[in-house]
Structures are given as C-alpha cells and as structure tokens.
Amino acid sequence: ALGNYVGAMWWDQESDAANILEPGTRRDKFTSDTKRASLYDNNGRNSQVQIADWHGHGWNFRKVYKRDRKGNLLDADDNKIPFDDPERFQKGVHLQDIHMERGMHCIDCHTQQDIHGDGRLWGTMINPIEIRCEDCHGSITERASLITSGLNGGTPLEAIGRTPFGDRQFQWNRRSGKLIQRSKIHPDKTWEVPQLVDAVDPQHERYNSKAARAKTMLRDGRSWGETAVNPERLAHGMSKMECYSCHSAWNTNCYGCHLSAEVNRKARSLHFEGSTTRAYVDYNPMVLRSDAFVLGINGTAKGNKFSPMRSASAVIVTARDRKRNVVVHQQPTVSAAGYSGFAITPNPPHTVRTRETKTCTDCHLSTTKNNNAWMAATLGMGTNSVNFIGEYAYVALDTKGIQAVKVTEGLEPQPVIGSNFHRLLNPESYRQFVQNNRRYKTVHSAGSKRARSIATRGEWIFIADGPGGFAVYDRSQVANKSAAQRLIATQNSPLGQRTRVSMRDATGVALPTTVPMNLDRPQLAQNLELPIAELFRYAYITDRYEGLVVVDVNTLHDGDPQNNYLERAVTYNPDHKLDGVIKIKIAGNYAYMISTSSGLHIVDISKPRQPRWVANVGPPYIIAGRSVAIQLHYAFVVDSEGFKVIDISEPRQPVPVTIAAVPLTDARDVYPLRTYVYVAAGRDGMAIIDIEKPENPQLVEMFDANGQMNDVTSITTGTVNASTFAFVADGHNGLRIVRLIEPPEVEGHLGFSPQPKPKLIGSYKTRGPAVAIADGMMRDRATDEDGNQIGVGGRLGSHPLHKEDIDKLLRRNGRIFRIVDTR
C-alpha cells in the first residue's frame, strides 16, 4: 500500500534494464543497500521508467505515470506526450495518491488502533482497520460524522484527535461548513476535507456533475440527481461497493512469482539469527503490471462489496534435490479448497485521484463497443496478456508425436532465448545463439499416432491423437537431468495406470482452465467458499465422427498415482450435428466447436455429463470452418474466406456480425490477446488484426518474417517480465518465436494494449510438421465467462466475480446494456 500511495510499484526488471542491470549478471548495478537509492540519480539516463528514491527488501520501485491504453504518456489535460520529449516525465502525471499530494502522512488517516491493533488477533491485517472513506468525507446526504465506522470502529476522531503539537486534528468551520484537518507531521500544514454532500449539490461551489451522476445514479441506469432516495435504489451505493472502486487511478498486479528451491545450497536463515539451512529458496517476480484494473467481491469483514482486486500470489514452484535434479518443475499451487492457488485478493489500492478516476466505461459496456477486451480484464476473465509458457514450449507434430522445446534460460530471471533481455543478461549465451542461426537446441520428444491438438496443465500434457484417441503424457521430469525419458506416456504398466481413451479420430482438446484445480478436496463451511463448478473436472475432446467426448481428468491432480484410469464420461453427437468437428474452445458454461462442414456449434456443458446442443452458425456465413476463439461477448472464427466475428453475448442466440470480416486466403487458427487477434494465416504467415472494436476489425499487418514463415498453423502467446512473444507452429518449418512487445522497441510497452512490432527471434526445426502448440497458464483468469470461480479468494468470504455479480455490471432486466461516459 505504501508503494502505491507514493505512486510507485515494483520494477519489472526489464524496462530500462540496460541502464540498471550490470551486463552479463542478474544483479543490480548498485548491489549494496546503501547504494540502491542512487538508482534514482540514474533516472536522467532512463527513457522508459523512473526509479523511486527508495527501496525495500532488495526490491526497486518504478514510478507509475498516467497513460492511455496504448501506453502513451499523457499530461494533465490528456494530451499525448511524445516518447522522445526530453521532458516527458516532467510533463507527465505521476499517479501518487491525492492524499499524498496534499501532504498527508499515513498517520493523518490511520488511527493508533489501525497501526498498533486493538489487542485482538485478527485473521488478516486489513480487517481491524477502523477508518473508512465516509468517516471523513461523509455521504451524499450527510456531512462526515468523524466517527470511525470500520468493523471495530466507533472512535470519535474529533474528540480525541490531537496533533503532536497540541492542536485539534479536525475542526469544522461552522460558517462555511468546511472541514479542516491539520497535519500530524508538519505544524503549519492544513487542508480542507471535501464533503460528498457538496459535490452533488448543484448550488454549491464544489459541485461536480460527473460525481453527482455517479453517486446518485439509480439502478434503472437513467435517473440521477436526487439524493433523498432509498440507498438501496442507488446503483453505486456505499452498501454495495467501496468508494475506491471508482476513485482509484490504478492498481498493482503480480502475475506470477517463481519460488525456486535448491536443497543442495546452504544459506543463512533470514529470521532466525545464527542458523543456517541447506535449502535456499529464491523468490523472483515474473510479471509486474499496473495497466489493468480488476473488480471482485471483498471479504465478509468488509461487507462483501464490489472492490478492486489484485493478483497477489500466482506462485510457480521449482525444486531441486541435493543432486541438483529438478524434481518439481515450474508448477502452480492448488489451494486447500481445490481452487487454483493463483489467488485474487481484494485490496484498497491507495491510488485515489480526483481526475484520473475510473469512468463509466471502465466497468460497463460502451455504446461504441470499443471496450470488450478491457471489460474481459476488469471482470477477471483474462485476456491472454500475461500467460506463462515457461521453460519449454510444447508442440504437436501430427504423425511425428510431440516435442518440448527449451525456449527460456534456466537462471533467474528467465529470459526468452534470443530476446533483448537475453542479450543483456547473458551476452555470451546470446552470441552463441545468434551464431547458431538463432536455432534452439534443447528438445525432448515422445511418440504418438497423430497429434493434432495439444494442451498442458500441471504436470500433464493432453493430446487429441487422431486414431490414437485422447492421450495424456507425464511431463513432470522434463527438466530432470537424471531422467532418461523426459516425456512419458505412463509411469506405470497398463495395470497401474491408463491415460489413453480410445476414439475414432480425435481432432481437438480443450480444458476449461489452464491451471490445476482439485474438485475432490474438502471445503470447510467456515471458509465461506462455494463448491467448484463441475465442468472443471473434465477434458473436452472433439472427434470427427463421434462429436464431443467428455473425460474426467480430475484424478490427475489429486496426488494419488494409483487412480489414474481415464475413461469417457460422455459421448455426445445428437443427430450427427457435430460430425466433422475439428477445434474446440471452452468459455464459461459453453463449448464452442468448429466443424469443417457445418460451422460453429455451441453446446451447454454446465452439466458436463448432460451436454445440450443449443445453437449453430453455419453456411453461408461460415464456409469450411477451421478454428474459433472467444473473448467475452464475441467468437472469432476463421474459415476458408478469412476472419469473421459472431456476437455471443447470448450464447443460445449467436448473431453473425456480417460486416465484421477480414479476407484471408489461408487462415487456419486464431488467437486473441487484448485488443488484437493473431491469425495463423498459413502460407501468408501471421495476420495481426485490431479488434478494439470487435464489430469493426482492422487488418494491421501481415507478418511472414521476409517469407520465412509460410506454413503457419497455430499461435499462442506468453509474457516474460515486460515482454510478450508469439509462439508459432509453422508447419514444415517447425517452431517459431516472434517478439510482439518488448522494450525499448515498443515504447508503449507499459500500456494495456500497445500496437505490436513483430520480429522473428528464434526457430527450431521440429522432427515433423508443427500443427499445434499448447497454450500457457492464464495468470490473469480468476473467473470464467459465466462466473465459475477459478482462483481462490485471498480473504475470508472474498471471491472473483460470480454470475450474479457480472450481470449487475453488464445486464439490466436480464439484457445487455451499454452506456456512454459522463462528459
């Protein structure tokens, strides 16, 4: 909170790294604690970030500036500041909390009880905080009571509040009605505390029409201006949402930290003086961002209100034994209740601003239909922007099996081999890579019959293996130097394990989540957690003849190696509607499948053992369908004619957006990443399409790396530190890695969705045609499109948005509604 309050967050280790890191090392140039602060003095050389003049626990912090969604710096009047302007950071708006700008210290707001506790043991530090926004700013009907109203509140601030200089901290000016507060740090500093009742009063000098509209808007979405109404009729009443849900300018997100334990490495214990341990655990932040804003429901102690949420514990674990064997490799955790251990936690961001607040279309759909990707992020559904590919990329090779190609270095931080970050951190390794014609060299293989589709989750690889059916491979030993075979079909004989399900011609495989969950773990009632949706128990496989096949794979994540006997739970192909299906995506309670002959089929899988076909969009709109991808309210389809868009805001009534099309002659696959989609365009390479307005897609670029990429079949993306890469299955050419966003080449890389600048940085000639590539772990997906929870809530009673919460933001009387921002 303190970092946010002063307008700073953890540095991502890559932005301006050339000026901050010692070339060829993973240490800051200034290694001693006494010298770290001097990084601040180096800011004049930095072009991308400004480092704060303090540090903590060996972490450096960067200042957060006002930017548009493309990453452009903005001044106070929202004018773009050129990246080459030598005074860009002076002209920019440093987004420290408005209370900080006014000169307020922590103790000017937080009481003695907030800081030192009340003598009772609380579950989390935030629960006994007694001060709330309305205690000092009042409501739309009353001035501040100056009595704390938190869970253990009741403290009369006006009566007991004294500064160290003997003055009353709060004092009302009865004539003007103004509330004056005195600083507890500076004897001569005072400020006025604005009152909400004045901001919504058209006759008052502090009247603010935007504030009035937001604070008095009724639940009908049209009426506003009246204050003497039942608070339950207010759309944004204080009983429903935290004030800082709207008034925060930004929030910090840690999308993954790598816990790497080395049992053979002796180290001193940090918190037990004089003791040592033979296990050293490194804690390396992987992706640190301030560009997205996520909403959820805060804890029971705070009233279960709408609140900002942050990714707070997306931990990935690696462990080496005393012989330096990697016995656990880049695995995420699973919570005690069975949810993903990628926790999403409610927090007060402490980034309150008066001008740079949230607008209406930050949390509701826009009438211009230009915020579909932003809303997917805000609702916690993820946008593929921070996916974790890891040390190995997994590729399906048709009749030649599968291969795992090593694409990052193993030392922390782990740059993608061939990237600018790699060049900086390990110049010698980078030089050798370039000399080898930018070819990756470490690879592990396994055979199969006809691997057409591939997915990974936990320690497992899932394959649609054509006539070989559905197969699951074990990848737990992929980085273990002592393992003779790194990818194995089974660790036991067929008597002890069966991880293959026979099918006639398996063509596609999809999982509802890319992170492990365990639906059989007990959930304690006192933890206030809802049961996990049953659809997460299964893998969903398409078969050209059998349609949809559902297989229970939960036993793979329960820690018991003796019960992995997979079998089909359901085979579903009503009236042969699903004949010819070749690709599948899961979004919420629905499976979206593409058939080569009959187009897009939508099947309700809310009850996985009782699937129900609900809709089809076929010819003449979809001709010879090839693939589909989903982002919130839109399905993106590629067929023999190119790229097309379908409105799926009502999945049972999909509507083709006939004017939204981009002609492509050889489109094979499609992958959305925030406001762009990347189309595997076969012989034409990779098509980059702007979908900020999904109903008006614009072709940005056709990229083929000067003709080198000419058989592109499948694409996925992954993020490392501040850079994003496309991992491309390029048919007979093998695996390609394309830089999309990377500092310093992409100057707006700190924005929500800057325009990519693709560049081929590495390749590997696989032993067969690369026809599919596995997606990485989605680290920003806490819930799905129907509010089925994935990530565990970080506070008792807290959770990402569920179905009823999502509908409050997107629907009115059960129907989608759209709004315009207040002018």
**Residue 32: pLDDT above 50?**
no
Q: Is residue 198 part of a domain?
A: no
Q: Where are the beta strands (DSSP E) in 627-769?
A: 627-631, 634-639, 642-647, 655-663, 669-673, 676-680, 686-690, 698-703, 714-720, 723-729, 735-741, 759-764
Q: Find the mean pLDDT for residues 35-59.
A: 79
Sheet containing 8-10: which strands, arranged edge to edge?
8-10, 59-63, 51-56
Phi, psi of 786 (to 5 degrees): -110, 20
pLDDT tier at 732, thresholds 50, 70, 90: very high
Question: In percent, how much of the chain has pLDDT > 70?
Answer: 97
User: Domain limits at 421?
Assistant: 392-520+532-773
Q: Which amino acid is at 421?
A: F
Whether residue 464 sits in one domain with residue 540: yes
SS3 content of the chain, % helix, strand, coil (to 5): 15, 35, 50
Residues 6+ apart with CB under 8 A from 439: 433, 762, 763, 764, 765
The answer, yes or no, to whether residue 389 has pLDDT greater than 80, is: yes
Residues 761 and 799 in one domain: no
Both 652 and 800 in one domain: the answer is no
Q: Are residues 448 and 494 in the same domain?
A: yes
Q: Is residue 5 part of a domain?
A: no
Same domain, 484 and 339: no
DSSP-derived 3-state class of residue 213: helix
Residues 789 and 768 in one domain: no
Written as one letter, the residue type at 763 is S
pLDDT of 351 reads 97
Kindly state whether residues 308 and 396 are assigned to the same domain. Answer: no
User: Do residues 450 and 498 both lie within one domain?
Assistant: yes
Look at residue 211 and tell me if it is in a domain. Answer: no
Q: What is the pLDDT of residue 27?
A: 54
For residue 431, what is the enclosing H or E element?
helix 427-435
610 burial level (CB within 10 Å; 0-12, 13-18, 19+): exposed
Averaged pLDDT for residues 126-137: 93
Domain containing residue 702: CATH number: 2.130.10.10
pTM above 0.85, yes or no: yes
| Stretch among 251-260, 454-463, 593-602, 739-748 having the lowest mean pLDDT | 251-260
Position 38 scores a pLDDT of 67
Number of domains into which the chain is organized: 2
Asked if pLDDT for residue 549 goes beyond 50, the answer is: yes
Q: What is the pLDDT of residues 676-689, one digit of tens each?
A: 999 999 999 999 99
Please report the pLDDT score of residue 778 as a whole number.
Answer: 96
15, part of any domain: no
Cα separation values, 80 from 15, 43, 262, 692, 751, Å: 20, 21, 47, 19, 13
Considering only 123-127, 247-251, 384-388, 669-673, which range has the smallest mean pLDDT? 123-127
Confidence (pLDDT) at 34: 47
The sheet carrying 759-764 orders its strands as 714-720, 723-729, 735-741, 759-764
pLDDT at 382 over 70: yes
The answer to whether residue 263 is domain-embedded is: yes
Of the segments 183-187, 493-497, 771-775, 817-821, which one has the largest average pLDDT value?
A: 771-775
- Longest distance between any two alpha carbons in the chain, whole Å: 87
The pLDDT of 453-473, averaged and rounded, is 98
**Tally of CB atoms within 10 A around 527:** 13
Place of tokens 């006759």: 203
Inside any domain, residue 761: yes
Query: What is the residue type of 188?
Result: D
Residues 261 and 290 in one domain: yes
56 domain residue, yes or no:
no
From residue 504, alpha-carbon distances to 13, 465, 507 in Å are: 49, 10, 10
Question: Do 483 and 553 belong together in one domain?
Answer: yes
Which residue type sits at 241? M
